Amino acid sequence: MPDISRPRALVIGGVSPHIAVVERLKALGFDTILADYKDAPPAAAHAGRHLQISTLDTDAVLQAARDLDVAAIVNVCLDQPLPVVATVRAALGHAAPMTPEAAHKLTDKDAMKQVLRAAGVDTARWTVAERLDALDARGLTFPVVAKPVGGTGSLGVIFARDAAALDAQLGQSFAAARGGGVLVEEFIEGRELSIDCIVIGGAVHVLLARERHKTWFSGGQEATCHATVAPAELGPETQAQIDAQARAIAPAFGIKDGPLLIQSIMAPDGRLVVLEVAGRIGGGPGGNRVVAMATGFDFVGASIDQQLGRPVTYHTQPDGRVFAANNVYAGQGVFDRLTGMQALLDEGLVEEHYTYRMQGEPISDHLSGRSRVCAFIAAAADHAALKARLADIYDRLDILDPAGRSIMRRDIGLHHTL
């Protein structure tokens, strides 16, 4: 039950990383209220109250914030609610590290790329269409990637090697866009990086660069990120580009305090091409837990403090090891149980483990978030030792269906791609 004697904080979204957000707010003396449209999101059991409302419904969130007289509205890991949170804070007169205008530019991919181009940051050429029959991609060089302008994650993202493939698949992007536009941009070949930064009083600090590992499927037409490895192995010239781009991007989007996530490609010619920017912490274990473990910086805690107007001091203590955040997938079937994980945790071969599927839940035959059963973090002294550890982990893990049959996808993982 809510405690009326304590100030109230409205937490936007019940995703697993927000469990730490709820617990941190409780430790700071807040009564926590969770807003999430799902019946039982992971963070709901930790909050004092769960409001089953959409985090994308500005009117509903504003009404809830007014009715509950909340002292703070907090979102750490989610993209799409950023404009809602900024708008509600402005309506309530709350101090906020992000304006509604900045939130729009960080969640509308067309507006985002226009800001990048105006700031002189290298980004892939693109075009946007509001309707399927209005796309004109003649100015682009294939292959290309299409994605909903207002989307997040991999939903509606397609890869096309030529115009025929684009025409055949583009409807998927428009279907996911739900009436919004679709952005089509040139595909840049190279190593993909997730760059985690924190901005404190206008000063931009690059915390960590994580290399993303992907699995291609559907005949090379689709891909999913199955893991990240950090710190990424980078030369001094690439590191200098990262620092310079981060210092240009933060003020271009009006970010003076808060997290900054930059998705980039290291092109074969040495250019660092920025794909997307986000004003949040990465939602997977690589984006929040690995950053904290590898750098010694409390990324989640700092983001909460900035949203509460509390002072944040930048201090890191690098761990020195190489970390992997690896997703584990299953083939089509019904998930019953995961075996072997507890022994790996007990022996210290796995640092942390996260479960995404519940017992009895069906697993899709499509390689996506719906076939992702769990994730784990592993660490070792160097890349060679890490790959050997991952091979051992995959040998000992298994995903079983109700009949005891293995449905684990052992062909996907860092033990193959590291």
Retrieve residue 199's tokens: 């901005």
Helix or strand run (H / E) with residue 39: none
Q: What CA–CA distance (Å, rounded) separates 214 from 226?
A: 6
Predicted local confidence at residue 234, as pLDDT: 95
* Helix axes 109-118 and 236-252, enclosed angle (nearest 10): 110
Q: Is this model's pTM higher than 0.75 or not?
A: yes
Alpha-carbon distance values, 180 to 43, 156, 166, 258, 303 (Å): 30, 12, 18, 28, 30
Predicted local confidence at residue 1, as pLDDT: 47
Predicted local confidence at residue 157, as pLDDT: 87
Q: What CA–CA distance (Å, rounded) separates 43 from 39?
A: 11
Q: What CA–CA distance (Å, rounded) separates 374 from 381?
A: 24
Segment 127-139, tens digit of pLDDT: 998 888 888 888 8
Rounded-to-10 torsion of CA 103, 109, 114, 116? 80
* Residue carrying structure tokens 């019953």: 336
- The stretches in the chain having pLDDT less than 70 are 1-4, 153, 218-222
